[in-house]
Amino acid sequence: MNQSELYTAEAKQTAIMQDKANVWHHLSQHSLHEKQDPLMIVKGEGSRVWDIHGKSYLDASSGGVWCVNVGYGRTSIAEAISKQLVQLNFFAGTAGTLPAAEFAEKLLEKMPGMGRVYYASSGSEANEKAFKIVRQIAHKKYGGKKHKILYRERDYHGSTIATLSATGQEERRGQYGPFAPGFVEFPHCCEYRSQFGEVENYGYLAAQELEKAILKEGPDTVGAVILEPITAGGGVITPPEGYWPEIQAICKKYNVLLHIDEVVCGLGRTGKWFGYQHYGIQPDIVTLAKGVASSYAAISCTVTTEAVFNEFLDNPSEREAYFRDISTFGGCTAGPAAALENLRILEDENLVENSREMGDYLLSILKEMQSTTPLIGDIRGQGLLVGIELVSDKASKEPVDESIAAKVAGICMQKGLIIGRTNRSFAKYNNTLCLCPVLTLTKQDVEFIAYTLIDAIKEAANG
Ligand code: PMP
């Protein structure tokens, strides 16, 4: 289809002017729009989107922020939302609604060991809810003392001040301090950038960084640790062998709750239903957002074990014996209605398996071409979450200038491929190109992504 046929030259001009004059874009330097109009996306179908001028792109960013898991144009999800809105558009989460109850049951079937679902409407909110759960348990059981939350360098947990206080990315936090107290950072686990040099037991050593941090703070002050199963936006950092079981053991040893942020990795992205399920571990809290309804509706979930939930049932006479939290749109019925249909699609179309198979295929093509392609220092990934770290010198691992990653992304756009990349400015980890396409990807799509990207890297390297 050609979208340019749908809009007259005048209509396009009007839309672009309205946008430029009125909209404040996310993560964007608006001065750039003086030279180049902002990208305006007007249509999506399957793995592709169209801009206002009718140009089609294979979207290897799943909507720019890695969330359209089942792909674009799903009329069955639109219909499920519409049907629900006509029956009941809203009632607060203090009451039950049919889609919320049914989705919670179906979701928990995929998460053995987990027991309750708390609804909100964004990933940041889901993480904030988890922090409040940890803090309230600290107050109820430990006189407020066991309230600290540890987080890892390079992990991202949200855009609010509290979630930024728990985020290990200087480029995102830099200008927003002072931060909320009680959040403490510990080092990352990126094997390519190993802080211990080349060692055999890297995973074990990297996990010890958590134990060191707990001991430094005092175990009686630490309530929880939050981690991404695979660091996503911070550079697609896959965990080294042996890392996760050791993290779990350390949490158990010091009675620290393990909170896994699955906002990106959840719902099939990494080739399992949830990222943590690759590592044989059992979290206490899991947060989900983007893929829950593939962003057809805004919905997030803070999922806890029954043990965590039960902390809020003890001593009913106690003043704090319930979770004193609410989120207006967390009660919205369109979210779980969309999430139910999204889950059905993931299951019926075997998209979790497809994510694993297409991810393996994508990684295999890229790795085969690594030695003959300039700039590629490291390739990491799991399922359809893949990162390519660019370096100017493969031996010294010197990062390329940030402008090179931007150039590669720009060349890809010209060639009809949308990719992601890590944030600008903090060079050491911020030259990673990110591929996070929809989970319906075909082999042909994989080949288009891989070969277009390799060509773009070669062109950027040649100046
Ligand atoms: N956690 C992770 C791992 C994320 O990648 C994001 C968003 N990119 C968030 C939390 C925050 O989600 P939201 O933007 O929906 O608030």
Same domain, 455 and 366: yes
Residue 98 and residue 24 share a domain: no
Ligand 1 centroid from CA 121, angstroms: 11
Task: Convert the pLDDT of each residue in 126-166 to its tens digit.
Answer: 999 999 999 999 999 999 999 999 999 999 999 999 999 99
- Number of structural domains the chain divides into: 2
Q: Give residue ranges with CB within 6 A of ligand 1.
A: 65, 122-124, 127, 156-159, 228, 232-233, 261, 263-264, 289
Nearest atom within ligand 1 for CA of residue 123: 12
pTM greater than the 0.90 cutoff: yes
**HEC secondary structure over the chain:** CCHHHHCCHHHHHHHHHHHHHHCCCCCCCHHHHHCCCCCCEEEEEECEEEECCCCEEEECCHHHHHCCCCCECCHHHHHHHHHHHHHCCECCCCCCCHHHHHHHHHHHHCCCCCCEEEEECCHHHHHHHHHHHHHHHHHHHHCCCCCEEEEEECCCCCCCHHHHHCCECHHHHCCCCCCCCCEEEECCCCHHHCCCCCCCCHHHHHHHHHHHHHHHHCHHHEEEEEECCCECCCCCECCCCCHHHHHHHHHHHCCCEEEEECCCCCCCCCCCCCHHHHCCCCCCEEEECHHHCCCCCCCEEEEECHHHHHCCCCCCCCCCCCCCCCCHHHHECHHHHHHHHHHHHHHHCCHHHHHHHHHHHHHHHHHHHHCCCCCEEEEEEECCEEEEEEEEECCCCEECCHHHHHHHHHHHHHCCEECEECCCCCHHHCCEEEECCCCCCCHHHHHHHHHHHHHHHHHHHCC
Distance between Cα 155 and ligand 1 center (Å): 10
- pLDDT tens string 253-299: 999 999 999 999 999 999 999 999 999 999 999 999 999 999 999 99
Pair (62, 80) in one structural domain: no
From 157, 292, 294, 421, mutation site for ligand 1 pocket: most ligand atoms within 8 A of C-beta? 157
- Among protein residues, the one with the nearest Cα to ligand 1's atom 5 is 264
Same domain (yes/no): 355, 302: no
Is there a single domain that holds both residue 376 and residue 433?
A: yes
Same domain membership, residue 337 and residue 209: yes
Do 370 and 322 belong together in one domain?
no
Domain region containing 18: 3-70+351-461
Among residues 348, 373, 398, the one where a domain terminates is 348
Report the separation in Å between the CA atom of 163 and the middle of ligand 1, taken as the mean of its atom positions. Answer: 9
pLDDT-derived band at 423, boundaries 50, 70, 90: low
CATH assignment at residue 135: 3.40.640.10
Distance, CA 294 to ligand 1 centroid (Å)? Answer: 14
Q: Mean pLDDT, to the nearest integer, of 13-30?
A: 95
Is the domain of 136 the same as that of 33?
no
The pLDDT tens digits for 50-79 are: 999 999 999 999 999 999 999 999 999 999
Residue 425 pLDDT > 60? no
Among residues 348, 379, 414, which one ends one of the domains?
Answer: 348
Residues 148, 36 share a domain? no
Residues 338 and 237 in one domain: yes
Over 70: is that where the pLDDT of 458 sits?
Answer: yes
Distance 209 CA to ligand 1 centre (A): 24
- Among the candidates 322, 348, 374, a domain finishes at 348
Same domain, 250 and 309: yes
The CATH number linked to 26 is 3.90.1150.10
Asked if 235 and 363 sit in the same domain, the reply is: no
